[in-house]
Amino acid sequence: ARTAAAGELAEAVSAELAGLAMGRARLEVSVRPLPAGASDSASLTVGGVDVHAGEAGVDEVEFRLSAHSGAQSLPLSKSASGGELSRVMLALEVVLAGSQHGATMVFDEVDAGVGGRAAVEIGRRLSRLARTHQVVVVTHLPQVAAFADTHLVVDKSDDGEGVSSNVRTLRPDERVIELARMLAGLDDTETGRAHAEELLDMARAER
């Protein structure tokens, strides 16, 4: 049963990754019996093989990723960059969202190295997760920030004696200005504000 479930999970996560700018990535989930030692007091014989029976069962589960076409499948910790690892975790959470409720999830730079349509897709998936979970996202992309229910900004100030950071919640009008700034750089332009309004309208329509 675990082996069958592992295959289904791998297929579902790989399908999610296709929409997160990792179209050629493939996740593999391997399930192998844990071999029992010569003097293992917690051993069982399963299918004629002696295996170790621990608190999590008799299997060892490993997640492996081939990040792109032709890439060797390696353990997840060795095959994914920081941004890729965050997107794999997001895809896993989206696939497993129905099996857990009430959890708080934190995604830091989940959108690293992406933009445009892929960023919008990340925002959509995060918004979907937020229907049943509390989701905290650190992002520099307006396409992702537009999907937030609450938009926070971290400001740094230097009074000459030291640097301090402040977190504040944006009002609706401030949010448009901040998204426009994220879109156009430091300048607050009418074009940027119009684009920000479009992003917010799109995100609200999909919630």
pLDDT (tens place) for every residue of the chain, 207 residues total: 788 999 999 999 999 998 888 889 999 999 888 888 777 777 877 777 788 877 777 888 899 999 888 888 999 878 777 778 888 989 998 898 877 666 888 888 788 878 788 889 999 999 999 988 899 999 999 999 999 999 999 988 888 889 999 999 999 999 999 999 998 876 778 888 999 999 999 999 987
- Give me the CATH number covering residue 71: 3.40.50.300
Dig out the tokens for 135 from the structure: 């989701």
CA 91 to chain centre: 6
Q: What are phi and psi of 6, to 5 degrees?
A: -65, -40
Considering the domain boundaries, does residue 186 fall inside one?
A: no
Considering the domain boundaries, does residue 110 fall inside one?
A: yes
Q: CB of 16 within 8 A of CB of 91? A: yes
Dig out the tokens for 166 from the structure: 């402040």
Considering the domain boundaries, does residue 160 fall inside one?
A: no
Considering the domain boundaries, does residue 191 fall inside one?
A: no
Considering the domain boundaries, does residue 89 fall inside one?
A: yes
The CA distance from 161 to 112, in Å, is 33
The CA distance from 144 to 200, in Å, is 10
Residue 9 region, left (φ>0) first, then alpha (ψ -120 to 50), else beta?
alpha
CA 59 to chain centre: 26
Considering the domain boundaries, does residue 37 fall inside one?
A: yes
Dig out the tokens for 102 from the structure: 């009430």
Instruction: Find the domain containing 102 and state its range.
Output: 2-149
Number of domains composing the chain = 1
Per-residue pLDDT, 64:
94
pTM of the complete model: 0.75
Considering the domain boundaries, does residue 203 fall inside one?
A: no
